[in-house]
Amino acid sequence: MSEGMLKDKFARTIRDLRISVTDRCNFRCFYCIPDEDIVWKRKQELLTYEEIILVAKIGAGLGVHKLRLTGGEPLVRRDIEYLIEELAKIPGVSDLALTTNSFELKDRAIALRSAGLTRLTISCDSLNADTFKTITRRDGLQEVLDGIEAAVKAGFPAPKVNCVVIRGLNDGEVADFADFSRATGVRMRFIEYMPLDNGHQWDRSLLVGGREILQKIKERHEITPISRDTPSETALRYVFADGAPGEIGIIAPVTMPFCGACSRLRLTADGNLRTCLFSMVDHNIKDRIRRGDDEELIRQFMIETVLKKEEGHRINESDFVQPPRTMSFIGG
């Protein structure tokens, strides 16, 4: 096993591969997927599970030990438990996580756990049923909350709950989410609203910066900073000073970028490597696999691709251009 073979030209080591297994979703979050006229990828355009396993195996051989399954919504792709079982068997893979909207989690948590999944992250932007529906365009808050409960019962370590904070929509709920974390033990991750929306309507005035989110929490709870698990972890972390369960994390890619320690590479559902969430370039690995390139050629392609990794996003630069690919076709 050759630890740390995947280095970019800024001497960052790639250890995390985020794998989008589908572009499809059962929600229609307005900042991610349009509500109608969606042109989904056809089945043959998507990587098969065997192709995903191949890329993950080659990546593990290059020191990529953390895998995260994303979408769209990964639980809508059939037999994902099979993929999890196979990925969990890959030597060198020590962390296998999944990000879900939890709508189907209540009945799937135990099977996901026994398939070998080690961690769960749940996306939930509101604890208010009406606001939830406004954001997701689906009635599903109760199912999402039931899914969180089922995840804890299934033995997953305290799930992370991702909440994208948008001014004038759910920013009034930040302290309520902190209460929710105390009551359930989940680890909140408040995420700044990023320009990756399908309508390219992102507006900085809707952004609630990390410091402002923190202030909203401090108005209700005393919190204490704790250190990151790893230098590349994206969240600034806090615990409640009174020792209550739960945790607060602030992910502020716009106002407090963390690109300098980025260790992430992404694989899209349609078989492209992406060196950055905001990259303007896709690196097609699917066609190389399907034309019969052997593992050594694929390995070389991954190494060369990572050498093209951008230094960071340019959201705060005057020349910033939003990538054509939107979140549901990247996978977060």
Q: Which of 60, 116, 63, 49 lies closest to 88 in space, CA to CA?
A: 116
CA 158 to CA 161: how far, in whole Å? Answer: 9
Contact status, residue 136 vs residue 27, Cβ threshold 8 Å: yes
Q: Is 327 in the site for ligand SF4 (CB under 6 A)?
A: no
Query: Which of 180, 278, 301, 329 touches ligand SF4 by CB under 6 A?
Result: 278
- The site string for ligand SF4 over 101-140 (x = CB under 6 A, - otherwise) reads ----------------------------------------
In the complex, least distance from residue 203 CB atom to ligand SF4, rounded to whole angstroms: 19
Q: Does 312 contact ligand SF4 by CB under 6 A? A: yes
Cα(first)–Cα(last) distance of the chain, in Å?
A: 28
- Considering only 25, 115, 277, 330, the residue that binds ligand SF4 (CB under 6 A) is 277
Helix (H) or strand (E) holding 175: helix 174-184
Q: Is residue 262 involved in binding ligand SF4 (CB under 6 A)?
A: yes
Q: How many residues bind ligand SF4 (CB under 6 A)?
A: 10
Minimum Å distance from CB 231 to ligand SF4? 12
Instruction: Answer yes or no whether residue 250 interacts with ligand SF4 by CB under 6 A.
Output: no
Closest distance of CB 97 from ligand SF4, Å? 16
The length of the chain in residues reads 332
Using CB under 6 A as the binding rule, whether residue 31 contacts ligand SF4 is answered as no
Give the contacts of 287 (CB within 8 A, at least 6 positions apart): 271
Near ligand SF4 by CB under 6 A, which window of 86-94, 117-125, 147-155, 254-262?
254-262
Burial of 239 (0-12, 13-18, 19+ CB in 10 A): middle
202 in contact with ligand SF4 (CB under 6 A): no
Q: How far is the CB of 284 from ligand SF4 (least distance, A)?
A: 19
- Closest CB to ligand SF4 among 240 and 278? 278
Work out how close the CB of 95 gets to ligand SF4 at its nearest, in angstroms, rounded to a whole number. Answer: 18
The verdict on 264 binding ligand SF4 (CB under 6 A) reads yes
Query: Which amino acid makes up residue 313?
Result: H
If the CB atoms of residues 132 and 278 are measured against ligand SF4, the closer one turns out to be 278
241 contacts 174 by C-beta, under 8 angstroms: no
d(CA 233, CA 264): 10
Contacts of residue 277, defined as CB under 8 A and 6 or more positions apart, other chains included, come to 194, 196, 253, 266, 313, 323, 330, 332
H-helix or E-strand spanning residue 284: strand 283-284
Nearer to ligand SF4, 55 or 289 (CB): 55
- Which residue of 17, 32, 124, 276 would you call a contact of ligand SF4, by CB under 6 A? 276
Strand segments (E) across 60-109: 66-70, 95-100
* The only residue of 259, 273, 306, 327 in contact with ligand SF4, by rule CB under 6 A: 259
Q: List interacting residues with ligand SF4 (CB under 6 A).
A: 253, 258-259, 262, 264, 276-278, 312-313
